[in-house]
Amino acid sequence: MTVEDTLRELVAIDSVSSRSNAEIISYVEARCKISGFEVRRFPHIDEHGVEKINLVAQASVRDSDVAGSQTAVGAAIELALVGHTDTVPYDAGWTDALNLTRRDGKLFGRGACDTKAFIAAALTAVENIELQKLKKRFALVFTADEEIGCLGAKRLAAAKAFAARYAIIGEPTSLQPMRAGKGYCVAEITVHGREAHSAYPQFGASAIFRAARLIEGIEAIAADLERDQRAGFDPPYTTINIGMINGGTAKNIVPGACRFTLEWRAIPEQKTDYLLELVENAITKLKHDDLDFLCDISANRADDSFETPADSPLVQFLEQTTNKLSGTVAFGTEAPSMIALGAETVVFGPGDIRVAHRTDEFVPVGELEQCVNILRQAIERFCA
Ligand SMILES: [Zn+2]
């Protein structure tokens, strides 16, 4: 079966994050079993009552073949190839979203680029390898719910599902190895006030005026953070966005509450909650002039940044094989979860992230085929 045929079958299975990924997991599970993998399912029911499954497929290695290992059970996986099975939703007008279409050397379809191309390449790469001859542990890992917060990978990390030494996470990077990425954090901030008739504002306290002062403080923090820079990132500092704000009930009511969403992307070596400490300091200052200033902060998401050293054997191997220097990614990935499982991690795959998540996303056929070769060489380099 060609890599294109495999991609066609993967794209035909609707695996939008809101649905169960059981069908696509069954598909990759069957493929892995045919190739001789031992598979392990990690199922759970998500917050909407939908079944989600992570799957770990491991090439079996006989105990005696594992160098330096007394017991093979629980031994670390040398190399894991990780691909998320879910996709973002597609527009109803994109009638061919689940029907892989080839045009001008490109393959179009939902997930064709992000990240079923990588999964197809990995499934094809292992078909050209005699798995039973591998000397070190090799695994394919298929995750759920990456597009809604890397939830599947986080569950694997929390469950300590396995330990790994090296991991390649499939994401569209145009086959450039990405060895570092910013963190991704979100907090909801609710500033409280006291409602009053707007004709008599002295009896109330405007939550919106208070929020405005706090937001001004956060803008100053953002400017300060620009001085702490990490080379290789664009831009090279932690960025902040307040993307949504909502407050008040009517034009003639002094507003009693104002909520806004604070999002930040932290550079490596900066703790995910560092920004919140700075925000707390800003709040303390505001309280100095406004004793009743009151707000709640609820930190909803705190994904770590990641950085794998440039001299990691995996980074070096991928740089040499692709003839491309490693770079950094600006989007959230499952890398922190794989690092939590012990792996030196690189994000890598065919297709361009700039065409992902949109109607007519595609992967260039040439990159897809090249990826098969590179993954096969990676398995041989690290596990043979
Ligand atoms: Zn993705």
- Residue 289 falls in the annotated catalytic set: no
- Å from CA of 216 to ligand 1 middle: 34
In the beta sheet, which residues pair with residue 55? 41, 142
The yes-or-no verdict on residue 75 having pLDDT over 90 is no
Q: What is the mean pLDDT of residues 6-30?
A: 98
Q: Kindly tell me the burial class for residue 11, based on how many C-beta atoms sit within 10 Å of its own C-beta (0-12, 13-18, 19 or more).
A: buried
Q: What is the pLDDT of residues 295-349, one digit of tens each?
A: 999 999 999 999 999 999 999 999 999 999 999 997 889 999 999 999 999 999 9
Residue 56, beta-bridge partner list: 40, 141
> How far, in Å, from the CA of 168 to the mean position of ligand 1?
13
Q: What pLDDT band is residue 62 in, cutting at 50, 70 and 90?
A: low
Instruction: Compute the distance from residue 297 Cα to the ligand 1 centre, in Å.
Output: 29
Q: How far apart are CA 355 and CA 284, in angstroms?
A: 44
The pLDDT, as a whole number, for residue 74 is 61
Asked if 46 contacts 345 with a C-beta cutoff of 8 angstroms, the reply is no
305 burial level (CB within 10 Å; 0-12, 13-18, 19+): buried
Mean pLDDT of the chain: 94
pLDDT of 260 > 80? The answer is yes
Residues 107 and 7: beta-carbon distance below 8 Å:
yes
CA atoms within 13 A on the CB side of 160: 3
pLDDT band at 71 (very low <50, low <70, confident <90, very high): very low
11 C-alpha to ligand 1 centroid (Å)? 14
Residue 37, helix vs strand vs coil: strand
Determine the pLDDT at residue 330.
79
What pairs with residue 299 in β-bridges?
187
What is the reported pLDDT for 63? 53
- Helix/strand number for the chain, H first, E second: 9, 18
Protein residues near ligand 1, an ion, with CB under 5 A: 114-115, 171
Least confident among 20-24, 144-148, 215-219, 327-331: 327-331
Above 80 in pLDDT, residue 70?
no
**pLDDT tens by residue, 184-239:** 999 999 999 999 999 999 999 999 999 999 999 999 999 999 999 998 898 999 99
Measured in Å, residue 231 CA sits from the centre of ligand 1 at 25
In terms of pTM, does the model score above 0.85?
A: yes
Q: Inform me whether the pLDDT recorded for 138 exceeds 70.
A: yes
pLDDT band at 61 (very low <50, low <70, confident <90, very high): confident
Helix axes 3-12, 365-383, angle to 10 degrees: 100
User: Which residue in 146, 303, 360, 367 is the catalytic one?
Assistant: 146
Question: Is 311 considered catalytic here?
Answer: no
Q: Is 80 exposed, middle or buried (0-12, 13-18, 19+ CB in 10 A)?
A: buried
